[in-house]
């Protein structure tokens, strides 16, 4: 029903409490409304506290002041211990290939149905105030609001993890967090305690390859892969099970920034990834991922050269191809960061009928940890009632009370079985969609052991390293040199070089040279470094194994999707007197190709073209930096060229873009500008000059812009670093 608001003449819809859900959440829209307390009492004065006289003490009875101040005092909730810094967005998931053969989960069997989702991306190690560009794993958590309940796919942008058993998770996090004696460093693994732990945990070898690779410094959340990490089970209507690995593949490809660039971005714009995601959605350039699955029959559980339940292992795509079955699109930014992105509560245990767990010991520990964490972070057991966490179907159970209770339960019955409430709520039968755990047969003794099949620590680390392109290998070596170079304890460095020796001799040698260490001889079996006296020797037991698969194309970012500048930001360096015709044509061509241009000039406001047209300036050289853009274009114009030649920041902009392997294009009359740069040797007119390195200089602006767009679609020209002309 509706009633008329006497103050404003508006109609206010009254909803049943039972109907409140995410899609019709409590959302305040303050337009022509009167201010009230949290109890609904209208406030007459929000400027002054209640006092005993205008210069007297504030009175305890001022409930308006106390309510306002108390709420302010408690505005901050404890941040997540890990994944504290994040950004999120709403979207939809649509299935285009049914998995009815493998699962009874409705959202994986019903075609062309838009399932609402909320996705949160995050870094792992840093606090909420840290930089987006830290070298780190990125969380990729997706909450599906399905008709059968919420399903949370709580994954990362890397398909494996540091440890095999959740028992070691607190140790891992304690090691990577700032060291407790001085709370240094923030959001960084480049310190003694982390590498001390890793050097004593050979099972981390594979994940270290990923974490030291370019995957740890993505260009954008929109350009990351996502993985469920664990092996899950799919259960069909007949009760038959299949193992499954979940994948998200970005339609923009998988791209990264350079490490030097990441460090600069952290100073120039620590919100770089947040801003990128927000602006893309606001501009209608909705990020999209293909959802894929690797499905493995139960009978094939033991046919691989690794253990399917080992979270430090992948299933190579050459062994089991990824089937693309659906699409995720993010199309709406949150209305309020705190209420949605900060308060959303994910849990690996949030599953629906048709999806079940395996005995992966890391997954098993996560099934406990998430709820336990949310109880303290979100203040009690009712965090599921927050609008962002509510399922779209109505909740009925006998849970009651507790901090933050929002649902108003009626009647006197809060137990089951009962007769006074007519037996309600009733248990759901299987035919009514009731969840039933997979009846896995278990016959074993209770032990604190780990399967021997988990002891191959290096074969997949070797596969990953050997699958990288030469630039990627160089970046990985530089990352290890940087990280271990920050470690002050020489014994820790030596242990890590020994770990690397088990992966690849050339890798270990390159890192050792950078650290001033001697490369140890490779041992045939056990790691050849001393084990701490009080350590458990089982942690160091390993099986030296060589996979039959030597390389995997899916593991190298060199093989990702390229050829588009969709949503890319192009920096255009210009000043008064710029060639108006070529600038206009360039902007039109880039816009048509899906990119955007940012005019960067010596000053803000506007510049005038050679034809007298005023062009709005987006950024000045003081507020901009090349690290914030994907490519650089310098249009011609005599006066503009003269001004840029004298502008040291413009020369620095170009030098930095070249150092970070970005595409640079300039019209031929801008040669005096380029000659001021350190990479100008040999520059002369010609549309394909240094095109193999992504540096273009052309006499024909129309032709040049086409070449530029095609080159920028390659993302980076990492080959520019080989031989090591510029640092990564």
Burial zone of 192 (CB within 10 Å; 0-12 exposed, 13-18 middle, 19+ buried): middle
pLDDT band at 18; cut points 50, 70, 90: very low
Task: Tell me the average pLDDT across 262-274.
Answer: 97
Taking the C-alpha atoms of residue 401 and residue 414, their distance in angstroms, rounded to an integer, is 11
Residue 539 φ then ψ, to 5°:
-65, -20
Instruction: Write down the catalytic residue from 21, 48, 90, 156.
Output: 156
- Residue pair 380/371 in contact (Cβ under 8 Å)? The answer is no
Assess whether 156 carries a catalytic annotation: yes
Q: What is the DSSP pairing of strand 569-573 with strand 241-250?
A: unpaired
The predicted structure's pLDDT at residue 727: 54
User: Residue 163 contacts by C-beta under 8 Å, 6 or more apart in sequence?
Assistant: 169, 172, 201, 203, 204, 311, 312, 362
Taking the C-alpha atoms of residue 365 and residue 348, their distance in angstroms, rounded to an integer, is 10
- Assigned token pair, 270: 């620590």
The predicted structure's pLDDT at residue 571: 98
The predicted structure's pLDDT at residue 495: 94
The DSSP secondary structure of 105-125, one letter per residue, reads -GGGTSTT-EEEEEEEEEESS
Taking the C-alpha atoms of residue 10 and residue 13, their distance in angstroms, rounded to an integer, is 10
The predicted structure's pLDDT at residue 708: 96
Taking the C-alpha atoms of residue 201 and residue 207, their distance in angstroms, rounded to an integer, is 11
Task: Tell me the average pLDDT across 689-704.
Answer: 83
Taking the C-alpha atoms of residue 109 and residue 122, their distance in angstroms, rounded to an integer, is 30
SS3 per residue for 453-479: HHCCCCHHHHHHHHHCCHHHHHHHHHH
**Which residues of 550-630 form beta strands (DSSP E)?**
569-573, 596-601, 606-608, 614-616, 619-620
Given a cut of 50, whether residue 23 has pLDDT beyond it is no
Taking the C-alpha atoms of residue 39 and residue 677, their distance in angstroms, rounded to an integer, is 65
Specify the 3-state DSSP secondary structure of 669.
helix
Among 628, 539, 515, CA closest to 164: 539
Task: Tell me the average pLDDT across 660-682.
Answer: 91
pLDDT band at 687; cut points 50, 70, 90: very low
The CATH number of 86-385 is which of 2.40.50.140, 2.40.180.10, 3.60.10.10, 3.40.309.10?
2.40.180.10
Task: Tell me the average pLDDT across 498-522.
Answer: 91
The predicted structure's pLDDT at residue 13: 36
- Assigned token pair, 231: 């092996």
Mean pLDDT of the chain, nearest integer:
90
Among 294, 355, 331, 385, CA closest to 148: 355
Task: Tell me the average pLDDT across 582-610.
Answer: 97
Instruction: Write down the catalytic residue from 83, 242, 347, 660.
Output: 83
Condensed to tens digits (0 to 9), the pLDDT of residues 523-578 reads 655 555 555 666 666 666 677 778 899 999 999 999 999 999 999 999 999 999 99
Hey, what CATH class is 455-558 in? Answer: mainly alpha
Condensed to tens digits (0 to 9), the pLDDT of residues 117-130 reads 999 999 999 999 99
The predicted structure's pLDDT at residue 683: 60
User: Residue 485 contacts by C-beta under 8 Å, 6 or more apart in sequence?
Assistant: 190, 514, 515
Given a cut of 50, whether residue 35 has pLDDT beyond it is yes
Give the C-alpha distances (Å, rounded to integers) separating 324 from 94, 246, 290: 12, 10, 6
The CATH number assigned to the domain with range 562-721 reads: 3.40.50.880
Q: How many helices (H) and strands (E) does the chain have?
A: 16, 20
Among 617, 717, 635, 631, CA closest to 674: 635
Given a cut of 80, whether residue 481 has pLDDT beyond it is yes
Task: Tell me the average pLDDT across 339-350.
Answer: 95
Task: Tell me the average pLDDT across 368-385.
Answer: 90
Assess whether 255 carries a catalytic annotation: no
User: Residue 233 contacts by C-beta under 8 Å, 6 or more apart in sequence?
Assistant: 241, 242, 243, 244, 355, 356, 357, 358, 438
Given a cut of 90, whether residue 106 has pLDDT beyond it is yes
Task: Tell me the average pLDDT across 153-173.
Answer: 96
Residue 504 φ then ψ, to 5°:
-160, 130
pLDDT band at 608; cut points 50, 70, 90: very high
Ranking 4-18, 399-413, 563-577 by mean pLDDT, the lowest is: 4-18
Task: Tell me the average pLDDT across 296-310.
Answer: 96
Alpha-helical segments (H) within 96-255: 169-176, 192-199, 205-211
The predicted structure's pLDDT at residue 51: 86
- Residue pair 214/162 in contact (Cβ under 8 Å)? The answer is no
The predicted structure's pLDDT at residue 113: 95
Taking the C-alpha atoms of residue 628 and residue 151, their distance in angstroms, rounded to an integer, is 36
Better-scored residue on pLDDT, 36 or 157: 157
pTM of the predicted structure, to 2 decimals = 0.91
Ranking 14-18, 306-310, 593-597, 692-696 by mean pLDDT, the lowest is: 14-18
Burial letters for 692-718: b for 16+ Cβ neighbours within 10 Å, e otherwise? ebbbbbbeebeebbebbbebbbebbbb
pLDDT band at 609; cut points 50, 70, 90: very high
The predicted structure's pLDDT at residue 726: 58
Specify the 3-state DSSP secondary structure of 659.
helix
Among 636, 625, 685, CA closest to 659: 625
Residue boundaries of the structural domains of the chain: 86-385, 455-558, 562-721
Q: Check whether the bond before 523 is cis (ω within 30° of 0).
A: no
Q: Which residues are registered as beta bridge partners of 95?
A: 326
Ranking 251-255, 325-329, 393-397, 708-712 by mean pLDDT, the lowest is: 393-397
Ranking 296-310, 366-380, 596-610 by mean pLDDT, the lowest is: 366-380
Radius of gyration of the chain, Cα coordinates, nearest whole angstrom: 29
pLDDT band at 99; cut points 50, 70, 90: very high
């Amino acid at each position: 029903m509706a009633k008329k608001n006497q103050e404003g003449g508006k109609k206010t819809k009254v909803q049943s409490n039972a109907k409140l859900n995410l899609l019709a959440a409590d959302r305040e829209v303050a337009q022509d409304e009167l201010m009230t307390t949290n109890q609904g009492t209208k406030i007459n004065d929000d400027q002054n506290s209640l006092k005993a006289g205008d210069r007297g003490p504030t009175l305890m009875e001022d409930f308006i002041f106390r309510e306002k101040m108390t709420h302010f005092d408690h505005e901050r909730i404890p941040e997540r211990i890990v994944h504290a810094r994040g950004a999120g967005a709403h979207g939809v998931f649509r299935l285009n290939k049914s998995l009815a053969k493998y699962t009874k989960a409705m959202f994986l069997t019903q075609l062309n149905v838009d399932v609402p989702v909320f996705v949160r991306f995050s870094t792992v190690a840093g606090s909420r105030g840290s930089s987006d560009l830290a070298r780190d794993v990125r969380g990729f958590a997706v909450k599906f609001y399905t008709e059968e309940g919420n399903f949370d796919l709580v994954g990362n942008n890397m398909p494996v993890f540091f440890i095999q058993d959740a028992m070691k998770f607190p140790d891992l996090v304690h090691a990577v967090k700032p060291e407790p004696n001085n709370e240094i460093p923030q959001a960084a693994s480049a310190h003694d305690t982390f590498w001390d732990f890793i050097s004593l945990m050979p099972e981390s070898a594979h994940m270290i390859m990923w974490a030291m690779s370019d995957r740890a410094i993505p260009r954008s959340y929109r350009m990351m892969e996502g993985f469920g990490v664990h092996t899950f089970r799919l259960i069909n209507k007949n009760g038959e099970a299949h193992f499954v690995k979940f994948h998200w593949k970005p339609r923009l490809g998988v791209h990264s920034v350079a490490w030097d660039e990441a460090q600069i971005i952290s100073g120039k714009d620590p919100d770089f990834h947040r801003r990128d995601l927000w602006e893309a959605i606001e501009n209608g350039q909705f990020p999209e991922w293909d959802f894929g699955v690797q499905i493995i029959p139960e009978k094939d559980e033991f046919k691989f050269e690794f253990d399917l339940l080992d979270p430090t292992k992948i299933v190579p795509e050459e062994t089991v191809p990824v089937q693309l079955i659906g699409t995720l699109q993010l199309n709406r930014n949150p209305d309020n960061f705190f209420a949605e992105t900060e308060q959303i509560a994910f849990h690996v245990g949030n599953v629906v009928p048709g999806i079940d767990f395996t005995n992966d010991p890391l997954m098993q520990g996560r099934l406990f940890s998430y709820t336990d964490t949310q109880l303290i972070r979100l203040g009690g057991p009712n965090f599921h009632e927050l609008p962002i966490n509510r399922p779209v179907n109505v909740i009925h159970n006998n849970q009651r009370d507790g901090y933050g209770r929002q649902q108003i339960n009626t009647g006197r019955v809060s137990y089951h079985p009962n007769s006074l409430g007519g037996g309600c709520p009733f248990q759901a039968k299987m035919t009514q969609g009731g969840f039933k755990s997979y009846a896995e047969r278990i016959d074993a003794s209770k032990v604190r052991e780990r399967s021997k099949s988990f002891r191959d620590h290096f074969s997949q680390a070797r596969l990953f390293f050997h699958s990288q392109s030469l630039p990627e290998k160089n970046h990985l070596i530089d990352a290890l040199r940087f990280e271990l170079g920050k470690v002050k304890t020489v014994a820790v460095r030596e242990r890590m070089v020994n770990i690397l020796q088990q992966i690849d001799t050339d890798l270990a040698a390159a890192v050792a040279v950078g650290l001033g260490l001697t490369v140890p001889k490779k041992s045939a079996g056990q790691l050849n470094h001393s084990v701490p006296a009080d350590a458990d020797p089982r942690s160091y037991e390993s099986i030296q194994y060589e996979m039959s698969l030597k390389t995997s194309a899916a593991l190298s970012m060199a093989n990702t999707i390229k050829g588009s500048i969709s949503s890319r930001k192009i920096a255009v360096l210009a000043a008064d007197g710029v060639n108006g015709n070529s600038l206009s044509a360039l902007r039109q061509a880039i816009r048509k190709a899906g990119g955007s241009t940012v005019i960067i000039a010596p000053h803000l406001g506007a510049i005038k073209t050679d034809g007298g047209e005023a062009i709005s300036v987006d950024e000045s050289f003081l507020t901009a930096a090349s690290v914030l853009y994907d490519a650089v274009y310098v249009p011609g114009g005599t006066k503009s060229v003269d001004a840029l030649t004298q502008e040291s920041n413009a020369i620095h902009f170009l030098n930095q873009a070249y150092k970070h392997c970005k595409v640079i294009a300039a019209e031929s009359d801008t040669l005096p500008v380029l000659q001021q740069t350190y990479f100008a040797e040999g520059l002369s007119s010609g549309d394909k000059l240094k095109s193999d390195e992504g540096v273009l200089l052309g006499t024909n602006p129309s032709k040049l812009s086409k070449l530029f767009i095609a080159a920028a679609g390659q993302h980076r020209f990492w080959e520019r670093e080989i031989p090591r002309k510029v640092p990564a």
